[in-house]
Structure 1
Amino acid sequence: MTREAALFDLDGTLCDTSGIDHLVTGEDADYRAFHAAAAGCPPRSDVLEALEDARTRGLAVVLWTGREFIWRDLTLDWLDLHGIAHDGLYMRWAADYRPATVVKTALLADVEDDGLRIVEAWEDDAAIVALLRDAGVPTVHEVGGAAS
């Protein structure tokens, strides 16, 4: 049986990383520092409201992220701290340095294999927004103008 779901990206979408984005820009990008610092970032209230609305409408709440699996505990702690319930968390495997579009294409297949059909999504990366639309997700919300 397939269940309809709403998909939410974490960094830059559900998790407001605007105060730490400088850690992953330029030649000295430090993703380890970025992900560690994300533990102190607040959720975006507009996206959190959309997540709660999706749950109220009976959709499964699915989260995905380009974070490596080694950050799973930190991510789960952050979700718990902010009272964010979810029905699935999909993450990049450790030491998987493929482009986000490749990783998230694979994660979409994992979501589908788990019996979930994404009917709406929230994402801040323009390339991933395009990927979701190309995959046939009926409603894709571009968060923050969907940076590329």
Structure 2
Amino acid sequence: MPGSRPAVLFDLDGTLCDTRSIEHLVAGDEPDYRAFHAASAGCPADAIVAEAARRAHREGRAVVIVSSREFIWRDLTMDWLVSQQIPYDGLYLRYSSDFRPAAVVKAELLGHVREDGFEPVEAWENHDAILELWRESGIPEVHDARVESSQSP
């Protein structure tokens, strides 16, 4: 889109936000997403992914957060980003009580990102379906945070 600002997309949980210490809250047959997201406020940023966000910002690219977190976690998320000194130009979250698969939600959010004048040139994510979505959507540089982060084995 002419006039679009180059942007780097960042997933939150398990990508930008190192949630390894709280993943037990969403494991098993009865995941407690409320407890998980509340506890995420105390999680550290992934050093490698956070530096990628800061670098994108320094280089003049927009830092856009695209997460499957529900909108009710917006303030907690914004506070966490500030506390971790992660600059951002856009924050896109799932609507509250939207239980569609993450790939469906993020495809819709990508449309909003582009409508708002951002053109993704790079993305960081940790789920296969979303990595595939980003590639199929024409994002030229897609990073698998399970491999390219401080959280990788």
TM-score computed with the length of structure 2 as normaliser: 0.93
State the SS of the aligned residue for 1:42: coil
Measured after TM superposition, the shift of residue 83 of structure 1 is 1.4
State the SS of the aligned residue for 1:19: helix
Report matched runs for 1:115-130 at 5 Å.
Answer: 115-130=117-132
Aligned residues: 146
State the SS of the aligned residue for 2:21: coil
Measured after TM superposition, the shift of residue 145 of structure 1 is 3.8
Measured after TM superposition, the shift of residue 103 of structure 1 is 0.2
Aligned counterpart in structure 1 of residue 84 of structure 2, from 82, 85, 94: 82
What is the one-letter code of the residue matched to 1:39?
A
Equivalent in the alignment of 1:132: 134
Instruction: Return the structure number with greater strand share.
Output: 1
Report matched runs for 1:1-148 at 5 Å.
Answer: 1-145=3-147
Residues 84-122 of structure 1, C-alpha deviation per residue, up to 9 Å, x if partnerless? 110000000010000000000000000000011000000
| Structure 1: unaligned runs, 5 residues or longer | none
**Which deviates further from its counterpart, 59-68 or 49-58?**
49-58
Residues 110-140 of structure 1, C-alpha deviation per residue, up to 9 Å, x if partnerless? 0000011000000011110001001110000
What is the one-letter code of the residue matched to 2:93?
M
TM-score computed with the length of structure 1 as normaliser: 0.96
What is the one-letter code of the residue matched to 1:45?
A
What is the one-letter code of the residue matched to 1:72?
R
Measured after TM superposition, the shift of residue 80 of structure 1 is 1.2
Please, what is the CA RMSD of the aligned residues? 1.1
Is this contact kept in 1: 2:131–2:142, CA < 8 A?
Answer: yes
Counterparts of 2:53 and 2:73, CA distance in 1: 22
Runs of 4+ in 1 over 4 A off after TM superposition: none
Counterparts of 1:54 and 1:82, CA distance in 2: 16
State the SS of the aligned residue for 2:108: helix
Counterparts of 2:139 and 2:87, CA distance in 1: 22
What is the one-letter code of the residue matched to 2:85?
G
